[in-house]
Amino acid sequence: MGIFDFLSGEFIDVIHWVDDTRDTMVWRFEREGHEIKYGAKLTVREGQAAVFVHEGQLADVFTPGLYMLETNNMPIMTTLQHWDHGFKSPFKSEVYFVNTTRFNDLKWGTKNPIMARDPEFGPVRLRAYGTYSIRVSDPARFLTEVVGTDGEFTMDEISYQIRNIIVQEFSRVIAGCGIPVLDMAANTADLGKLVAAEITPTLAEYGLSMPELYVENISLPPAVEQAMDKRTSMGIVGDLGRYTQFSAAEAMTAAAQTPNSGMAAGLGAGMGMAMAQQMAQPGPWGARPAAPQPAAAVPPPPPPVEHVWHIAENGQTRGPFSKAAMGRMATAGEITRETHVWTAGQDGWKRAEDVAELAQLFTILPPPPPGS
């Protein structure tokens, strides 16, 4: 065996990659010393791209196909290295295979609620989640901007960053779109396309693209959802008076059907009276005139507020006393017409005879005799 045959056996003749992990984005072709034989075969399958890095500098990018690694197939590599065509010496380069297929069913969602202004409910807090797909559109840029020298780069290593970009753009779109909360469910497809379009320039800087983004659900806080459920229930009920009559009739029917119930007879009589009243009402075609309805009873006015009184004697205040107590005191002579009294709402102290409510207490007593 000659020395040239020995070298030919030592170096790699076929370079290819078969992936079965479903989450690997970039894989570096491993070879001790990274020695690749001049004229070796490179197989790039559909959904792949091969990137050559020579002495730390990105050289050539190969799309799907079968290549012979020669000078006519590697124009950039030829300018980077002088080839000895007689010896056909091996070259030391790193080969990175990039998966260019779609990575589907990736999850995204909002960690914290998004503040938005709804035209009907005012300020609201929204949460959302969904799925998206991603693919490598520019293998060279993706390798230089994201992967670096990582020998095996998976989707998990960049999915967190992509989720942050989606949430940021989704929050901005939701806050400025002006779509009412009640109409967002009908516009999730348009929202997904709008958010994907806003994300595209940012992802292009990574060498990525987003073919699809889906908004699966947009939800409100539980308290707001409960309030909306109550509002929906009120809309379904409609006329509250008729709903109350219907509920009462259902309850009476259930109680009347209960055996050995003392309420059955009374409920039956009540239902009969209710039916009689309904029959007295005019029919839908005016067959029976309406019976005159009794006028609603006017409630009596509230009773007057009874005053209580304070008495001023010798610089001291006594009381409070009710009007009945004041009458007894007037009869006993403990207070006179000249006694100063006060009650809440009265402007200062007044003599008892000057207060209309107390003056009548002294009419039953004769006035003082003349000359007393």
Q: Which domains does the chain have, with CATH numbers?
A: 3-99 (no CATH), 104-224 (3.30.479.30), 309-362 (3.30.1490.40)
Q: Does the structure show a pLDDT above 80 at 82?
A: no
pLDDT in tens, 135-164: 999 999 999 999 888 889 999 999 999 999
Confidence of residue 214 (pLDDT cuts 50, 70, 90): very high
Lowest mean pLDDT among 122-126, 189-193, 326-330: 326-330
Average pLDDT over residues 335-354: 82
pLDDT at 45: 93
Q: Does the structure show a pLDDT above 80 at 311?
A: yes
Lowest mean pLDDT among 8-12, 35-39, 106-110, 153-157: 8-12
What is the 3 state secondary structure string of the chain?
Answer: CCHHHHHHHHCEEEECCCCCCCCEEEEEECCHHHEEEEEEEEEECCCEEEEEEECCEEEEEECCEEEECCCCCCHHHHHHCCCCCCCCCCEEEEEEEEECCCEEEEEEECCCCEEEEECCCEEEEEEEEEEEEEEECCHHHHHHHHHCCCCEEECHHHHHHHHHHHHHHHHHHHHHHCCCHHHHHHHHHHHHHHHHHHHHHHHHCCCEEEEEEEEEEEECCHHHHHHHHHHHHHHHHCCHHHHHHHHHHHHHHHHHCCCCCCHHHHHHHHHHHHHHHHHHCCCCCCCCCCCCCCCCCCCCCCCCCCCCEEEEECCEEEEEECHHHHHHHHHHCCCCCCCEEECCCCCCCEEHHHCHHHHHHHCCCCCCCCCC
**Its pTM surpasses 0.85:** no
Q: Are 42 and 61 in contact (CB under 8 A)?
A: no
Average pLDDT over residues 323-350: 82
pLDDT at 5: 45
Average pLDDT over residues 2-15: 53
Q: What is the mean pLDDT of the chain?
A: 77
Q: Are 38 and 92 in contact (CB under 8 A)?
A: no
Q: Does the structure show a pLDDT above 60 at 264?
A: no
Strand order across the 316-321 sheet? 316-321, 309-313, 340-342, 350-351
Confidence of residue 221 (pLDDT cuts 50, 70, 90): confident
pLDDT at 130: 94
Rounded to the nearest 5°, which phi and psi values hold at 364?
Answer: -80, -10
Average pLDDT over residues 70-75: 57
Q: Does the structure show a pLDDT above 80 at 205?
A: yes
Percent of the chain past pLDDT 70, that is, above it, reads 70
More confident residue, 82 or 54: 54
pLDDT at 140: 92
pLDDT at 365: 55
pLDDT at 188: 86
pLDDT in tens, 108-121: 998 888 888 888 77
Q: Does the structure show a pLDDT above 90 at 270?
A: no
Confidence of residue 165 (pLDDT cuts 50, 70, 90): very high
Q: Does the structure show a pLDDT above 80 at 65?
A: yes
